[in-house]
Amino acid sequence: MQIRSDHQNQQIIGFCIDGACPNQKLFCHLCLPSHIQHISKLTSEELLSGWIKERILAAQDIQKNIQECKIALDRLINLFFLYNNFNIQQLTELGLSKIDQLIKGFSQIGDCEEKLFKQLKQSIEQTKSFVNEIIKKIKNQQVYLIFNIMITKLRIISTN
């Protein structure tokens, strides 16, 4: 890895992947003391791409789970469509005990739906909030990187 001027001409030896660390993510030997409390969160250039792939796989796993939830909800909706064209004449043909069972079944489904939809709504809101937070952090990091590049270029221009 190349030597960086902002590391007192020391070679960059790795990356800090601790999300809570306020220090620079690239580090040299001189920077190690500022990362000592989370040394297990330091990685090499070779391992960084594996770490990034793990993050991508985790996001894909979440996406897969959401798709599985959608499939389950679609099955639930399809069950309701069976009764969509149900009419009163069919009701009298069923008999009192079957009508009673049908009403109890739909009541239980209604109770479960209410709980399910409440939990889903909370999960969706938490997920959206979390994703927006990640996007905001990424955008802030991009702005920070662009700012640092501009400062470095200005320093080079002013020294010439």
pLDDT of 4 strictly over 60: no
What is the predicted pLDDT for the residue at 37? 92
pLDDT of 50 strictly over 70: yes
Q: What is the DSSP string of 135-155?
A: HHHHHHHHHHHHHHHHHHHHH
What is the predicted pLDDT for the residue at 132? 85
Chosen domain end from 85, 113, 139: 85
3-state secondary structure of 83: coil
Backbone φ and ψ of 43, nearest 5°:
-140, 165
In a domain, 158, yes or no: no
Residue 104, CB-side half-sphere exposure with 13 Å CA sphere: 6
In a domain, 21, yes or no: yes
Question: pTM of the predicted model, to two decimals?
Answer: 0.52
Q: Judge whether 57 and 77 are in contact, CB under 8 Å.
A: no
Mean pLDDT of 3-19: 78
Of 19 and 4, which is predicted with more confidence?
Answer: 19
Mean pLDDT of 98-104: 80
What is the predicted pLDDT for the residue at 42? 93
Sign of the alpha-carbon torsion through 48, 49, 52, 58? negative
In a domain, 3, yes or no: yes
Distance CA 30, CA 92 (A): 84
Domains: count for the chain? 2
Domain that holds residue 76: 49-85
Q: Are residues 57 and 38 in the same domain?
A: no
pLDDT of 159 strictly over 80: no
Report the chain's mean pLDDT, rounded to a whole number: 80
pLDDT of 43 strictly over 80: yes
Q: Are residues 9 and 39 in the same domain?
A: yes
In a domain, 58, yes or no: yes
pLDDT of 5 strictly over 60: no
In a domain, 129, yes or no: no
